[in-house]
Amino acid sequence: MDNAIKNIIGRDISLSTLFEENRQTIEDSSSKVLNNLREQALEAFLKLGIPSNKVENYKYTNLQPYFSGDFSFSLNAPDFTGRMEDIFSCDVETLDSFTIFIVNGWYYSNNGSALLPEGVRVGSLAALAKEDPSFVEKYYGKNAPWLSDGLVALNTMFARDGFYIHIPKGVVVEKPIQVVNILLSEEPLMTNQRNLIVLEENSEARVLVCDHTLSSDRFVVNNVTEGFVAPNARLDYYNLQNQHNATTQVAGLYVDQKENSYVKTNNLTLHTGVGRNNIVLKLLGKHAEGHAYGLYLLDKNQHVDNFSFIDHAVPECFSDELFKGVLDDHATAAFTGKIMVRPDAQKTNAYQTNNNLLLTRDAKINSRPQLEIYADDVKCSHGATVGQLDEEAMFYLRSRGINKDEATILLMYAFAYEVIEKIKMDPLREQIRSLVEKRFRGELDKCHSCVVCGQKGTGNTSCL
């Protein structure tokens, strides 16, 4: 493999032109199954473009400015000598997991596949597309809306690598599978990582995706993850976002669920610049259960937009959503929860809640809990609240000698815990619990996870 990182500098030209100019290079280094969709994706992108806030689904986040300007693309996997563990230590330190590392959207290494049960495949999507193209073809582009969402179209144009997880029939993976996404670059960088998760019948897996930035440059991340969960399978998907303020991340998760399947997603945003999470669960088989949870703790000028869409396409399914946010300083957040109950999807139960705490005058929240219901025998509810810390609770704590700062942290922590307790993996929950507590105490900065600059001390201005 070519050792140099070849970059295409944006020169402020449109992304479609950029793609067309470098199409040959992209296609030559990729596989047929991925190349097959590029032409149509380009056509869709030319039509749709990067969504502005005129697009209803993106009303509260205008991504256009973040996707313009100069940035580079890495054409090849970045080349490091040395082990990942030397430059990076995980937030979730004591977690005994099978771990893979992704650098700038490219699969890098893992910590030993001997840890995985037989038949389970975890690795690079680019490699899989070469080795087992029929498998990739079966799933690639099958549920992400790459013809109707400009960002997914953009990803499909440029996509070359990412991770894949394939759990065969009946296999239960006890250990969590951890994916560490690292962004490390000396110039502004855009990545279009494409991931695939396939769970066959009766299988079970827990996936933890951690997003980190290790250098201070501007990053634009446009991830798409497609998930396929077969009957009776169970997927727990946790996404821990801890990135610096110059990051723009769009993370799309699109999951198809068959009968009796169970999917739980949990998006934990501890630190980011501008974030957008698209969580789409399609309940396509009876008795499928979808759970979408999220927690966003924001300060400074951070912005997070959680967009969820739960599609009840068939009868007798269940869904539950809970998103909670604490907004400090000038932080802004948006939440959209869309529940669709299709005609004849009778006996649907769907619940949705969004609670927000505003801590300062400048914090801002836009919430849209929506129901679209075409069947009558359903139980659906949604609720949204915006408020402050309960004065009575505060008084209670203060009257018992707890000082104001401590009481505030306690109450915020209690507020957030409702989402944390949904994590069913004990060590992970414990770790995240302490991370959130550190985050509230202001002890967690993004250097925490970075051995390199962590050693340089806090005087390092390259750490934003």
Partner 1 sequence: MTTEQDKILAEVTKGEYKYGFYTDIEIDALPKGLNEDVIREISRRKGEPEFMLEFRLKAYRHWLTMEAPKWPHLKLPEIDFQDIIYYAAPKSKPKLNSLDEVDPELKATFDKLGIPLEEQKQLAGVAVDAVMDSVSVKTTFKETLAEKGIIFCSISEAIREHPDLIKQYLGSVVPPNDNYFAALNSAVFSDGSFVFIPKGVRCPVELSTYFRINARDTGQFERTLIVAEDDSYVSYLEGCTAPMRDENQLHAAIVEIIALERAEVKYSTVQNWYPGDKNGKGGIYNFVTKRGLCKGDYSKISWTQVETGSAITWKYPSCVLMGDHSSGEFYSVALTNNYQQADTGTKMIHLGKNTKSLVVSKGISAGRSQNSYRGLVKVSKKAENARNFSQCDSLLLGDKCGAHTFPYLEINNNTAKIEHEATTSKIGEDQIFYCNQRGIDTETAVGLIVNGYVKEVINQLPMEFAVEAQKLLEISLEGSVG
Positions that interact with partner 1 (CB under 8 A): 56, 343-344, 346, 356, 358-361, 363-388
Token pair of 123, please?
């690795």
User: Which residues, 6+ apart, have CB-to-CB distance to 327 below 8 Å?
Assistant: 298, 299, 333, 356, 357, 358, 359, 360, 363, 364, 365
Q: Residues 237, 239, 243, CA angle at the centre, nearest 5°?
A: 170
> What minimum distance in Å lies between the beta carbon of 391 and partner 1?
11
> What minimum distance in Å lies between the beta carbon of 389 and partner 1?
10
Nearest to partner 1 of 8, 375 (CB atom):
375
Nearest to partner 1 of 191, 367 (CB atom):
367
For 450-459, which contacts have Cβ atoms below 8 Å and span 24 or more sequence positions? 450/87, 450/88, 450/212, 450/214, 451/86, 451/87, 451/88, 451/89, 452/87, 452/214, 453/214
> What minimum distance in Å lies between the beta carbon of 89 and partner 1?
36
User: Which residues, 6+ apart, have CB-to-CB distance to 286 below 8 Å?
Assistant: 259, 260, 314, 315, 316, 317
> What minimum distance in Å lies between the beta carbon of 279 and partner 1?
19
Distance of CA 291 to the CA centre of its chain: 15
Nearest to partner 1 of 227, 325 (CB atom):
325
User: Which residues, 6+ apart, have CB-to-CB distance to 229 below 8 Å?
Assistant: 199, 235, 255, 256, 257, 258, 261, 262, 263
> What minimum distance in Å lies between the beta carbon of 54 and partner 1?
11
> What minimum distance in Å lies between the beta carbon of 319 and partner 1?
13
Q: What is the DSSP letter of 116?
A: S
Nearest to partner 1 of 103, 334 (CB atom):
334
Q: Are 182 and 105 in contact (CB under 8 A)?
A: no
Nearest to partner 1 of 210, 416 (CB atom):
416
Q: Could you tell me the CA-to-CA distances from 315 to 262, 326, 351 in Å, in that order?
A: 15, 35, 15
Nearest to partner 1 of 332, 449 (CB atom):
332
Q: What is the DSSP letter of 30?
A: S
> What minimum distance in Å lies between the beta carbon of 384 and partner 1?
4
> What minimum distance in Å lies between the beta carbon of 390 and partner 1?
11
Cα(247)–Cα(258) distance, integer angstroms: 35
What are the phi and psi torsion angles at 348 (to 5°)? -85, 140
Nearest to 223 by CA among 393, 106, 137, 376: 106
Q: Which residues pair with 226 in a beta bridge?
A: 196, 254
> What minimum distance in Å lies between the beta carbon of 365 and partner 1?
5
Nearest to partner 1 of 115, 375 (CB atom):
375
Cα(106)–Cα(125) distance, integer angstroms: 9
What are the phi and psi torsion angles at 421 (to 5°)? -70, -10
> What minimum distance in Å lies between the beta carbon of 272 and partner 1?
21
Nearest to partner 1 of 363, 425 (CB atom):
363
Nearest to partner 1 of 361, 400 (CB atom):
361
Cα(196)–Cα(253) distance, integer angstroms: 10
Nearest to partner 1 of 155, 367 (CB atom):
367
Nearest to 140 by CA among 194, 192, 200: 194
> What minimum distance in Å lies between the beta carbon of 348 and partner 1?
10
Nearest to partner 1 of 18, 314 (CB atom):
314
